[in-house]
Structure 1
Amino acid sequence: MNKLNQKMIKIEKYLQRQKGEFKLFALFLRDGSLWDVFASETLSAINQFMPVGKKIAEIHDNNFFCLDIKQAFFFSPSRKKSLQ
């Protein structure tokens, strides 16, 4: 796992402590742009890309929200354990 991903996981955990759990936390890289950070309580349109069985999923050359995305990292939501 590279340093950027490690930093983003720390940021996600910090923000979750402040704002609550996210359904989506992702980095998108567009051509000719810096990284965009997406964080949300709901975005079912891209749930198909969420990691299953691993912490980070990476995709290349895709289109989200009418934006051409060169590269994206999807971070699996940190689920709080239920104390039931």
Structure 2
Amino acid sequence: MEALARKASMSPRTFARKFSVHFGQTPAKFVSQIRLEAARRALEEGRLPMNAVAKLVGFGDEQGLRRAILRSCGITPSDGH
């Protein structure tokens, strides 16, 4: 976020506040949603295992992706099948 704030010539706090007003959510939640959507698409394609998808979209590992899905949807990936 600091890099984005710098590019926008704002402090990180001002950037986060303006971002939240414009998009209706914090930058962190916005990025998490984008990552979740990318993970969903990759998992639906079925070419990569969940751990590889998690690393590909920026969650670091499978557990990070599972926690994000649980926070977002209230279910685990295996519950959705």
Higher strand share: 1
TM-score tier by shorter-chain length is: 0.3 to 0.5
Higher helix share: 2
Rg larger in 1 or in 2?
2
- TM-score between both structures, scaled by the size of structure 1: 0.33
- TM-score between both structures, scaled by the size of structure 2: 0.34
Q: Which has the higher contact order (CA 8 A, sep 6+)?
A: 1
